[in-house]
Amino acid sequence: MTSVAVLGTGLMGLPMARNLARAGLRVAAWNRTRDKALPLEADGAVVAHTPAEAVTGADVIVTMLSDGEAVHEAVTAAAPGLRAGQVWAQMSTAGLAAVERLSALAAEHGLTFVDAPVQGTRQPAEQGKLVILASGPASARSTLEPVFDALGQRTLWLGDAGAGTRLKMATVSFGISLTAVVAEALALAQGLGLDPDLVRQVITGGPMDSAYFQAKSAAMLSGDFTPSFTVRNAEKDTRLIGEAGQAAGVRLDVVAAAGERFRRAQAQGHGDEDMAATYFASFDKG
């Protein structure tokens, strides 16, 4: 039976760890705020007190933390429990520069590093329907197969480590930009004295409709900003995407504008709400 250490049990990491345990894998989880990981005990997971305790004896280490720095800190703290040959699936959205740094950290400890960010937010994570953008040594695939099968509906293997994060930068830019566009369309309707739900009615069933549009417009119209992906994390990702675009010589005007919206929404106090709360950035009093 594959044993998995999960470092980070936040909005994404908690349901991912739960799905691993429910799939019959041995799971040891660690979270900086330990109380947030304790619900996993009901699914048979061990909740460790330290990263080193979590990774000791694990075949696979999964990291799902807020950013590259948090991942680096956690794995550095785990060093006493690491052993050469463990497979590290780095599944956080960390950005290109961070992935290079984390790959070097893995090499220092003899770990097999797989860059494997995911496409999907809280609900797909809960349902085990993430899309995993995996890149790394082919030798790690058989070890990771039961892990990725428990977490996702599909895994794309993309070549050497780093390719997964490069693709994630492109795909997350789509979701972030679309959220900002939906927010502006609804806000403009409201500002013009219309019921913003009319925008939803016009788009529904037509060529511009999508499940994503329906989900985000519903959140904005109902005022339910229970987070699937927070404003704070979306803003962080716009910076990572911008850095990737700059490195590639590609101008990303829409993502840059979306980043400004997320920063305004965060300043208005919406940082921990779903990124649909970028709706408030259209108004001076959000």
pLDDT in tens, 15-27: 999 999 999 999 9
* Overall domain count for the chain: 2
Q: Residue 286 above 80 pLDDT?
A: no
Same domain, 129 and 188: no
Alpha carbons 7 and 259: distance in angstroms, whole number: 28
Token pair 């933390």: residue: 65
The domain boundary, picked from 139, 159, 179, lies at: 159
Domain co-membership, 174 together with 96: no
Contact 11, 227 (CB under 8 A): yes
- Burial classification of residue 238, based on how many CB atoms lie within 10 Å of its CB (0-12 exposed, 13-18 middle, 19 or more buried): buried
Report pLDDT digits (tens) over 194-203. Answer: 999 999 999 9
Domain boundary among 141, 159, 177: 159
Q: Are both 171 and 224 inside the same structural domain?
A: yes
Examine the pLDDT at 29 and tell me if it is beyond 80. Answer: yes
The pTM of the full predicted model, rounded to 2 decimals, is 0.94
Same domain, 150 and 182: no
User: For position 79, what pLDDT does the model report?
Assistant: 98
Residues 12 and 151 in one domain: yes
pLDDT of the residue at 1 = 86
CATH of the domain at 88: 3.40.50.720
Q: Do residue 260 and residue 223 come from a single domain? A: yes
Q: Which of 36, 168, 216, 285 is catalytic?
A: 168
Looking at the structure, tell me whether residues 51 and 111 fall in a common domain: yes
Mark whether 122 and 195 lie in a shared domain. no
Residues 86 and 149 in one domain: yes
Q: Give yes or no: residues 114 and 178 share one domain.
A: no
Q: Say whether pLDDT at 64 is over 80.
A: yes
For residues 36 and 102, state if they share a domain.
yes
Residue-number span of the structural domain to which 142 is assigned: 3-159
* Same-domain check for residues 31 and 145: yes
Structure tokens at 261: 């919206």
Q: Could you tell me the CATH number of the domain that includes residue 249?
A: 1.10.1040.10
Determine whether 216 is an active site residue.
Answer: no
- Partnered with residue 30 across adjacent β-strands are 7
DSSP per-residue string spanning 152-181: EEEEEE-SSTTHHHHHHHHHHHHHHHHHHH
Q: pLDDT tens-digit profile of 133-175?
A: 999 999 999 999 999 999 999 999 999 999 999 999 999 999 9
Give per-residue pLDDT as tens, 36-62: 999 999 999 999 999 999 999 999 999
Is residue 235 a contact partner of residue 259, using CB atoms and an 8 Å limit? yes
What are the tens digits of pLDDT across the range 207-260? 999 999 999 999 999 999 999 999 999 999 999 999 999 999 999 999 999 999
Q: What is the pLDDT of residues 107-131, one digit of tens each?
A: 999 999 999 999 999 999 999 999 9
Question: Which of 159, 186, 221 is the endpoint of a domain?
Answer: 159
pLDDT at 285: 79
Q: Which pLDDT score, from 0 to 100, does residue 210 have?
A: 97
| Residue 173, phi then psi, degrees to nearest 5 | -65, -35
The pLDDT value given to residue 122:
95
Q: Judge whether residue 93 has pLDDT over 90.
A: yes
